[in-house]
Amino acid sequence: MTVERMDPATVEIIRRRLEGIAEEMQGVMLRSAVSPIVREANDASASLFLPDGTVMAQSVSLPLLLGCLMPAVQRMLRDFPVTGMRPGDVFLMNDPYDGGTHIPDVSLMVPVFAEDRVIALAATILHHQDMGGLTPGSLPTNSTEIFQEGLRLPPLQLARAGVTDPQILRIIALNTRTPEAFAWDLEAQIAACRVAATRMEELAARHGADALMAMMLELVRRAEAATRAAIRAIPDGSWTYEDALDNDGVELDRPVPIRVRVTVRGDEIAFDFTGTSPQVRGPVNAAPAGVMAGCFFALRAVTGPDIPNNGGCARPLSVVLPEGSLLNPRSPAPLNARTGTVKLLTNAVLGALAQALPDRIPAANAGTSTVMALSGRRADGTAWVVTEVLTGGSGGSAAMPGVHGVSTDVGNTMNLPVEAMEADAPVRVHHYRVRRGSGGAGLHPGGCGIDREYEILQGPLTLTFRGERHFHAARGSAGGGDGRVAEALVIRANGAREEVRSKLTTVLQTGDRLLMGTAGAGGWGTPS
């Protein structure tokens, strides 16, 4: 089918059908997974790709994970080209230094066949509850090398023509504290990809494989053209923005700066992170996959939602990441805590673009996902891990105030309900509420963070706490005020109080309490 013969309505229907398939994949994962961080918080994502690794359609889920799937699929294709694939094959990987993002996020890929050839690739990425390492949950805040963060998996073929390799599963099971949860969550990923394969086969049967492939390529072309047109609408120029992480988790009194220069020239845009901190000892370094995900999100945020969300959108974008820096570290630097880094760099990119588009881009979001992992052992000796992601506020904008307690920018996780937390861990949640007054003042105030308090009913439990914005507030815009910084406190059963300086790994005993208040966002406009 030539471009001239393509019916525009049919092409648009194919676009929506592909997006629907990606959404169905997402739904299958969330309904089938057993770990709370997936079934409740939705920490997983799904996408469809062309056989060359170009992303074709994405679920409405986490931009960070969706962006990280792109280099992971490209990496797996280098070792396993489509010419050697057979129906029933399954591939996976998680190595952050070889196309991955951080160790708990396992990427999985399945080829889709029609008319005896690969017409697409179905891929999922899911945050597994534990992959080994220093602390339960595989998120040690004090790691100093990646070997302390868990099991690294290079691109591997998990199944050949429908037959799973049991040795790979045995190796993983021996290196995770929660092998049963891992096995169930992995099956959820595979099931999602198989559903996508069935739907794509039905689509190819209806339209023909050649016609379907031609329309998918046309959608990529259209996305690139529309993105370039949207970039041309931004004034040419160059703008800088700086922000900083509280610390690296090891040197707790040393901030870690992030700097970006955004340059627009015609229909192309460049993000240059020269001047960002060199790589650090602690685990807040970010692999390039995560950085690119943040940059892709920022670009999509300013080019509009009507453009097909596929690989064509990324073609006008270039990114400079100095080697050996916080955003392109050399192995074996640790990087499990990269989420806060990616969120702040995304805020920095948007902050730079706000200088060119002040009425379109909100003030700074809280720019943090506070991650808390609790773990212990059951009466039979088996381990359990519950991970929670706590949100902050979104920035006020020219159009409206910010939103309280919402996952922003590259995050899109849901809150973990109190009932789910109390069912899966021996804790009592005393309150869960909006942290009033934490959003920055303004004509349109910033969104507030949240307050949450936990009491340990049965210890000892290991706590891993990974916060951000405890020392560097989210900035206001157009005369708006800054958001309030985050706070966290451990109150021991004997009354002793211990301040949490952004990041902490400790043991909690029966009667201990954890109190936390997440950061608010910046306000927009001078308060009236």
- pLDDT tens-digit profile of 440-487? 999 999 999 999 999 999 999 999 999 999 999 999 999 999 999 999
* Spatial separation of the C-alpha atoms in residues 345 and 412, rounded to whole Å: 16
Query: Given pLDDT bands bounded at 50, 70 and 90, which one contains residue 19?
Result: very high
pLDDT single digits (tens) 293-347: 999 999 999 998 889 889 999 999 999 999 999 999 999 999 999 999 999 999 9
Percent of the chain at pLDDT > 90 equals: 87
pLDDT single digits (tens) 71-126: 999 999 999 999 999 999 999 999 999 999 999 999 999 999 999 999 999 999 99
Q: Considering the entire predicted model, what is its pTM?
A: 0.94
Query: Is 11 strand, coil or helix?
Result: helix
pLDDT single digits (tens) 412-445: 788 888 998 899 899 999 999 999 999 999 999 9
Residue spans of the domains in the chain: they are: 3-224, 362-528
* Spatial separation of the C-alpha atoms in residues 486 and 450, rounded to whole Å: 9
Q: Is the pLDDT of residue 2 over 60?
A: no
Q: Is the pLDDT of residue 368 over 90?
A: no
Handedness of CA 294, 296, 298, 301 (dihedral sign): negative
User: Stretch 20-27: mean pLDDT, rounded?
Assistant: 97
pLDDT of residue 381: 85
Query: Is 320 strand, coil or helix?
Result: strand
Token digits of residue 112:
């889709």
Pairing state between β 163-164 and 156-160: antiparallel
* Spatial separation of the C-alpha atoms in residues 36 and 418, rounded to whole Å: 12
pLDDT of residue 5: 67
| Residue 14 CB-half CA count within 13 A | 26
Cβ 82 vs Cβ 67: under 8 Å? no
Spatial CA neighbour of 331 closest among 66, 146, 65: 146
Q: Is 381 left (phi over 0), alpha (psi -120 to 50) or beta?
A: left
- Average pLDDT value over all residues in the chain: 94
pLDDT single digits (tens) 177-236: 999 999 999 999 999 999 999 999 999 999 999 999 999 999 999 999 999 999 999 999
Pairing state between β 268-272 and 317-320: parallel
* Spatial separation of the C-alpha atoms in residues 145 and 149, rounded to whole Å: 8
Percent of the chain at pLDDT > 70 equals: 99
Structure-token match 């060119």, residue found = 356
Query: Is 299 strand, coil or helix?
Result: helix
pLDDT of residue 306: 87
pLDDT of residue 171: 97
